[in-house]
Amino acid sequence: MRLRFMPLSAFVVLTVLTIATASFADDLAAFLAATTKSCVECDLSGRDLTGRNFKRTRLDRAILRKSDLTDASLFRSTLLHADLSDARLSGANLNRVDAKWADLHGADLSKALLFEADLSGANLVGANLAGARLGSARLNQANLQSAQLAGADLRGARLAGARLTGADMRAVRLDGQNLRQMDLHGIDFSMADMIEADLTEADLKGANLAGADLFGANLHAADLRGANLEGANLSNAILSDAQTEGAKFEAAVMPDGRRSQ
């Protein structure tokens, strides 16, 4: 009988994979036991992590898909390229988290704390950010298409290059925000606070700005065709060269302080 031996190269590969698997398992167990603050590339998908304290942890490239992190603390943690799609993060503390290029599509971030969070390049398509506090957050190049942002605080946030098509931005706080030349067509901004916001050359075609507070806002050369500004406050706003064909201004307070009929 001839004995068949495993080629040396295959044996080495198998050994390395076995050791690596054991190492990942050890890292995961240590992380969950709070004896280490690093769990890079860990698979935590679908886990119940409600209320856990993960402050200042390293979760780069971790898989947290559909995990429950409700009311958990990830303060100052790193989540570079992490997968948090469909995760539950309602009420979680994500202040100053570094989540550049993270996948958060479909995630529930309602009422989450995201002050100074870095979400540059993140995928937030369809995410629920209703009531979230995003003051001074970095959302450069982030994809927020169809995201729920009703009542969110975005004052001081950086939105350069962010995609907002189809987002729900009712009662959002955007005071003093730089929205120059942004594509905001068709977005619902009803009852939003946009005091002194810079909307120069912004595309607001068909947008709903009913009841919005646009006191002192700069709408120079903005495209407001077909927009709804009924009851909006435009006191001291700049509307020079704005395109307003088909826009509705009923009961709005105009730049001169007079109420439109």
Q: What is the pLDDT of residues 88-118, one digit of tens each?
A: 999 999 999 999 999 999 999 999 999 999 9
Collect all residues with Cβ–Cβ distance below 8 Å to 21 and sequence separation of at least 6: none
What is the spatial distance between Cα 91 and Cα 80, in angstroms, rounded to a whole number? 21
Report the predicted TM-score, pTM, of the whole model to 2 decimal places. 0.88
Higher pLDDT, 15 or 136: 136
Cα dihedral angle (125, 128, 130, 134), rounded to 10 degrees? -60
pLDDT > 90? residue 149:
yes
Q: Is the pLDDT of residue 17 over 50?
A: no
Q: Is the pLDDT of residue 72 over 50?
A: yes
How many Å separate Cα 21 from the centre of its chain?
Answer: 33
- Residue 136: which of 102, 163, 173 has the closest Cα? 173
For residues 134 and 150, what is the distance between their CA atoms, to the nearest angstrom? 12
Which distant-in-sequence residues (6+ apart) come within 8 Å of 87 by Cβ? Answer: 64, 65, 66, 67, 68, 69, 104, 107, 108
- The predicted pLDDT at position 176 comes to 96
Across the chain, mean pLDDT equals 93
Query: What's the pLDDT score for residue 25?
Result: 66
pLDDT value of residue 16: 42
Give dist(CA 231, CA 211) in Å, integer. 5
Q: Give the pLDDT score at 223.
A: 98
Alpha-carbon dihedral sign for residues 237, 241, 243, 248: positive
Q: How far is CA 145 from CA 126, 141, 148, in A?
A: 6, 12, 9
Q: Which distant-in-sequence residues (6+ apart) come within 8 Å of 50 by Cβ?
A: 68, 69, 70, 71, 72
Residue 22 pLDDT > 50: no
- Provide CB contacts within 8 A for 76, sequence distance 6+: 55, 56, 95, 96, 97
Q: What single letter denotes the amino acid at residue 4?
A: R
